[in-house]
Amino acid sequence: MTCDEAEILLHALIDGELDAGHAREVEAHLATCAKCAAAARDYREMKKAVAQGGLRYTAPPELRRRIEASLPQTAAPTRRALLKGFAMGSAVSAMAATGLFAVILRSDDEARLQTEFVSAHLRSLQANHLTDVVSTDQHTVKPWFNGRIDIAPPVVDLGSQGFALIGGRLDYIDGRPVGSVIYGRRQHVINLFVAQGAGTEPRAAKMETVQGFNIRRWSDRGLAYWAVSDLSKEELANFGEKFEAATRAAG
């Protein structure tokens, strides 16, 4: 396990949310990495302090009284409740409204979207989450996406250029299904996420770093790409260039 993975997973360990297998892996990492072990020790102390810290608030009595008073006492709706009913005016459930807000708030937020790709990448690294279809053959991986998502992610063979095809996976980013084509280089994994682009204009590649992972994003022929990996920027850029060249050559 690398420090990048442990940085995230040690919290799940502290919170008791990790399964036994991963808990052992994180603990093994903490046993050998002083930096992560120090962090875990501080986080446990912080957690204890927060739990004991009297950080909760008590609702003011006046607020409690107001809320009690606003709840209907009889079968007849209060004027206020009626007005509220008209004002909000729809039968959509509160939970559906939650989803709507989420879409509005997140759609224009590139930074948060990138975090979601990194999260998806991290999830994929957990045991048995990496691939839905395992194949080193592009002619197996490509048709697998048919009918699963409404785009056809290009799958090219870059094995001779040092990037081995591992397989494909269906993932969800921002509540939408997204295809991921998985490549490997040495022991490193590259998740290449492919989604419908915002337009057909090609967009030149941009490299960013989020939580220690590098993300190379670009658009081409109506598709948007995010390659996420713990590979160095140079190697990930190299991967992106080879992938773009190969898809162009394939027509």
Write 14-19 long-range contacts (CB < 8 A, 24+). 14/40, 14/43, 14/44, 14/47
Q: Using CB under 8 A, which of 58, 146, 160, 187 touches other proteins?
A: 58
84 binds other proteins (CB under 8 A): yes
CA distance 77 to 79: 6
Pick from 116, 156, 194, 236: which binds other proteins (CB under 8 A)?
A: 116
Q: Which of 102, 235, 233 is nearest to 161 (CA)?
A: 235
| Pairing state between β 164-173 and 176-185 | antiparallel
Using the rule CB under 8 A, which residue among 51, 127, 204, 249 binds other proteins? 51
Does residue number 82 form part of the binding site for other proteins (CB under 8 A)? Answer: yes
Helix, strand, coil proportions of the chain in percent (round to 5)?
50, 25, 30
Candidates 19, 24, 28, 105; binder of other proteins (CB under 8 A) is 105
When asked if residue 20 is in the footprint of other proteins (CB under 8 A), the reply is: no
Near other proteins by CB under 8 A, which window of 41-49, 161-169, 177-185, 223-231?
Answer: 41-49
Residues 174-193 that bind other proteins (CB under 8 A): 175
DSSP state of 187: T
